[in-house]
Amino acid sequence: MIKHQRKIFGIKFDVERINPVGLPLYLTAGRSFWRYTYSGMSFIIVNISNDEKFGVIAFEKQCALLEKRFESPVAFSFSYISGRQRDSLIEKNIPFISDAKQLYLPFLGMMLSDRLAQQKQINAEKMMPVTQALFLHILYNSNNKPMLKKDAAEFLCVTRTSITRASDQLLSMDLINQDMIGKECYMMPVMTGKELYKKAKPFLINPVQRVITTDSDFDCYPFSGESALSMCSMLNAPKIPVRAIYKSDVDINEISEIDVRWSSDNNAVDLELWKYDPRLFEKNGVVDPVSLAMSLKENVDERIETSVEEYLEEYEW
């Protein structure tokens, strides 16, 4: 948001974050404070969290207190406001900035539009499958460099709309930053390697939707589960090999499912149906380490848990 606000009315402001020392908690909780300066003119923008309750009377009183404290004009920044909220702020003469078409800064200027952006409903608790695929692509390939959205869409074989939803979710999880350069949108991870993985871990999902035991030939697909882990650790390989396949690449009605308790077939394989294509990130015929760890996270075997931890610890990110 700061990157988009830095240039207001064609004026490129210098922006610095300030520490609101001495202010009571109700004025600072969940907020960030920024000083905008240009040619001797300055003002304060207070970024309001999406979780904060909107109260125009409270904002009016707080604005007066903050202007007195900073001895400078103060404006509130919202990622989204409704038409009614916008009108209430203007009626009370409360400076604010919202999306690129909603600015009310009486000390500087106004830019308003009746076409307000729709508030996006973003689930910031767990990644969608396409979000996790995008995250893995960024994790394994960014090298701390910006990545074009259109390039990511092409690599993952998804639409730009799907990539936009996925990147919005990563943005809400504070895993990436986004910036527009010309007409192109770039994504940049907030950190890299193991640190990025650890930050993302609470949001990651198990990629496996279903497991089918079959005697069909799936040798061209990567090893997964305990088979993959045995290739990357001291763990013994399972009796029945495990392979992974994207669920959309196979018709489960055409797969002959078997019960190994009543079959002596030595060609049996546990086929994991994945929510995204495991071949996108496979290496040397084995699924990627993060997806592997997530597929085994509910396994209660202490040997497997230990092997996963050691594998991720030694992995060269």
Q: Is the pLDDT of residue 1 over 80?
A: no
Task: Tell me the CATH number at 162.
Answer: 1.10.10.10
Same-domain check for residues 224 and 249: yes
Domain closes at, from 202, 232, 266 = 202
Distance separating alpha carbons of residues 2 and 77, to the nearest angstrom: 10
Q: Mean pLDDT throughout 263-271? A: 80
What would you measure as the largest C-alpha separation in the chain, in angstroms?
83
**DSSP type of residue 5:** H
Residue 116, in any domain of the structure: no
Q: Give the pLDDT of residue 120.
A: 58
Reported as a single tens digit per residue, the pLDDT across 194-240 is: 999 999 999 999 999 999 999 888 999 999 999 999 999 999 999 99
Q: Give the pLDDT of residue 143.
A: 75
Same-domain check for residues 191 and 219: no
pLDDT level of residue 277 (50, 70, 90 thresholds): very high
Provide the domain limits for residue 243. 208-311
Q: Is the pLDDT of residue 77 over 60?
A: yes
Reported as a single tens digit per residue, the pLDDT across 234-256 is: 999 999 999 999 999 998 888 88
Within 8 A by CB and 6+ apart from 80, the residues are 50, 98, 99, 117, 119, 120
Same-domain check for residues 138 and 238: no
Number of domains in the chain: 3
Residue 63, in any domain of the structure: yes
Distance separating alpha carbons of residues 1 and 47, to the nearest angstrom: 9
Residue 246, in any domain of the structure: yes
**Which pair of structure tokens corresponds to residue 205?**
């999902």
Nearest to 241 by CA among 262, 217, 210: 217
Burial of 245 (0-12, 13-18, 19+ CB in 10 A): buried
Task: Tell me the CATH number at 23.
Answer: 3.40.1350
Same-domain check for residues 87 and 167: no
**Which pair of structure tokens corresponds to residue 154?**
């092409």
Reported as a single tens digit per residue, the pLDDT across 94-119 is: 999 986 568 899 988 888 877 665 55
Reported as a single tens digit per residue, the pLDDT across 4-58 is: 555 566 678 888 999 998 999 999 988 999 999 988 889 999 999 877 888 999 9
Same-domain check for residues 156 and 246: no
Q: Give the pLDDT of residue 113.
A: 75
Q: Give the pLDDT of residue 196.
A: 95
Nearest to 139 by CA among 175, 179, 168: 175
| pTM (predicted TM-score) | 0.65
Q: Is the pLDDT of residue 129 over 70?
A: yes
Q: Give the pLDDT of residue 90.
A: 94
Q: Is the pLDDT of residue 261 over 80?
A: no
Same-domain check for residues 70 and 11: yes
Same-domain check for residues 191 and 223: no
Nearest to 294 by CA among 207, 227, 210: 207
Q: Give the pLDDT of residue 12.
A: 81
Q: Give the pLDDT of residue 5.
A: 58
Q: Mean pLDDT throughout 64-79? A: 94
Read off the amino acid at residue 43.
F
Residue 120, in any domain of the structure: no
**Terminal alpha carbon distance of the chain:** 30
**Which pair of structure tokens corresponds to residue 259?**
């019960």
Residue 86, in any domain of the structure: yes
For 180-195, give one letter per residue: b (16+ CB within 10 A) or e: eeeeebbbebeeebee
Same-domain check for residues 137 and 59: no
Q: Is the pLDDT of residue 312 over 60?
A: yes
Residue 119, in any domain of the structure: no
Reported as a single tens digit per residue, the pLDDT across 144-187 is: 788 999 999 999 999 989 999 999 999 999 999 988 777 788 99
Residue 123, in any domain of the structure: no
State the average pLDDT for the chain.
Answer: 89
Same-domain check for residues 27 and 72: yes
**Which pair of structure tokens corresponds to residue 218?**
């799936």
Q: Give the pLDDT of residue 8.
A: 66
Q: Give the pLDDT of residue 232.
A: 93
Same-domain check for residues 173 and 217: no
Q: Give the pLDDT of residue 267.
A: 83
Same-domain check for residues 215 and 193: no
Residue 166, in any domain of the structure: yes
